[in-house]
C-alpha cells in the first residue's frame, strides 16, 4: 500500500419506489431503514419531493445533496420543491461538483430515465458516483445496453475512481415462456432483444455484466442475487437482479442486503481505496 492506509466508506443504493407502478412506498416507511444503514453516501432512485422528504432522515441533515430533476436544480434550502425528484445523491463528504446525464432521444423517451453524477471529495481524493435509473417500459436489452454504454463512456472522461450504481432494470430472462411473460408485462418488443444484429437468447444479466467488463468495470453484487420482489407480497418473481454496483479503481469489501420495504432491496456496499 506504499505506506498509505486504506480509507473505508459505505454506499447505500436503493430504489425506494416512491413514484408509481404497482404500489407507491411511503417515505415514512423508508426513512428508518435508511437511517439504520448508516451509510456515508446515499444513492436513492424513484424518490419524489426530495427536499421535503430528506428532512425526515435524522442522520443526514448536515450532509451534502444533489438531485436529478427536470430543471437540473441542485437541492438547496431555498429551492422550490419539484413534484418528482428522481435520483438523489446524498453525501457526508463534500460534493465538489455534480451534473445530470440525459440519454439521447434516439435511445428512449421515458421521463423516469435519469442519471445523477457527483464528484465527491474523500480525504483529499475525489471519486465520481453515478446514480442511475434505466429504461424498462417499451424497450429491452438493446436500449439498456445503449444506456449503460453511454454512462461508461461518460465515466471514462473522469480519471479517478468511479462508482456506477442503481436500478438498471435488467428484466429479461433467457429465451422461453418466462421471457415472453416479462416482455408482455413491460411491453418490451422482440426488436429490442437484438444487439448488433444478433438476437440475445441468454439471460440479460450476463451480457450486461460482460459489457461492463469490456469497459473496465466490475459489479460488486452477486449476479444471481435477486434484488426485486412483487409488491406488496415480497415474492421474488423470476428472481430478477435489477440493481447493480459497478466500480473502477475502488475495492468493495462487504455487501449488506436489507429486507424489502419498497419493491427493491436496499443494498449497502463497503468500499475502500
**Which residue has cell 425506494?**
16
User: Mean pLDDT across the stretch 40-68?
Assistant: 85
**Which residue has cell 419506489?**
17
User: Mean pLDDT across the stretch 202-225?
Assistant: 97
pLDDT mean across residues, the chain: 88
Residue by residue, what is the 3-state secondary structure of 59-92? HHCCCEEEECCCCCCCCCCCCCCCCCCCCEEEEC
Model confidence pLDDT, tens digit, residues 161-185 = 999 999 999 999 999 999 999 999 9
Is-contact 38 80, C-beta < 8 A?
no
Dist CA 226 CA 228 (whole Å): 6
CATH number assigned to the domain covering 8-272: 3.60.10.10
The per-residue pLDDT for 201 is: 96
- Answer with the residue of higher pLDDT: 70 or 65: 65
The answer to whether residue 85 scores a pLDDT higher than 90 is no
Q: Where are the domains of the chain?
A: 8-272
The answer to whether residue 69 scores a pLDDT higher than 70 is no
pTM more than 0.85 = yes
- Answer with the residue of higher pLDDT: 110 or 253: 253
Dist CA 174 CA 198 (whole Å): 14
pLDDT > 70 in the chain, percent: 88
Amino acid at each position: 500500500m506504499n505506506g498509505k492506509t486504506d480509507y473505508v466508506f459505505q454506499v447505500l443504493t436503493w430504489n425506494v419506489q416512491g413514484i408509481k407502478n404497482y404500489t407507491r412506498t411511503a417515505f415514512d416507511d423508508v426513512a428508518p431503514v435508511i437511517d439504520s444503514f448508516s451509510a456515508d453516501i446515499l444513492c436513492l432512485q424513484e424518490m419524489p419531493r426530495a427536499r421535503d422528504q430528506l428532512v425526515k432522515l435524522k442522520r443526514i441533515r448536515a450532509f451534502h445533496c444533489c438531485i436529478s430533476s427536470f430543471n437540473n436544480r441542485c437541492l438547496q434550502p431555498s429551492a422550490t420543491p419539484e413534484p418528482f425528484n428522481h435520483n438523489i445523491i446524498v453525501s457526508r463528504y463534500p460534493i465538489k461538483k455534480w451534473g445530470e446525464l440525459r440519454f439521447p432521444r434516439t435511445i428512449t423517451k421515458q421521463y423516469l430515465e435519469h442519471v445523477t453524477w457527483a464528484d465527491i471529495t474523500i480525504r483529499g481524493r475525489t471519486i465520481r458516483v453515478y446514480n442511475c435509473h434505466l429504461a424498462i417500459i417499451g424497450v429491452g436489452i438493446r436500449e439498456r445496453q445503449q444506456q449503460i454504454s453511454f454512462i461508461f463512456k461518460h465515466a471514462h472522461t473522469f480519471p479517478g475512481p468511479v462508482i456506477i450504481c442503481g436500478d438498471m432494470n435488467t428484466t429479461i430472462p433467457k429465451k422461453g415462456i418466462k421471457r415472453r411473460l416479462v416482455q408482455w408485462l413491460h411491453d418490451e418488443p422482440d426488436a429490442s432483444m437484438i444487439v448488433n444484429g444478433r438476437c440475445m437468447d441468454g439471460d440479460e444479466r450476463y451480457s450486461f455484466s460482460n459489457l461492463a467488463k469490456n469497459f473496465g468495470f466490475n459489479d460488486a453484487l452477486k449476479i444471481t442475487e435477486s434484488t426485486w420482489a412483487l409488491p406488496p407480497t415480497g415474492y421474488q418473481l423470476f428472481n430478477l437482479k435489477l440493481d447493480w454496483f459497478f466500480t473502477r479503481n475502488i475495492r468493495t469489501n462487504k455487501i449488506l442486503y436489507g429486507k424489502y420495504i419498497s419493491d427493491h432491496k436496499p443494498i449497502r456496499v463497503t468500499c475502500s481505496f
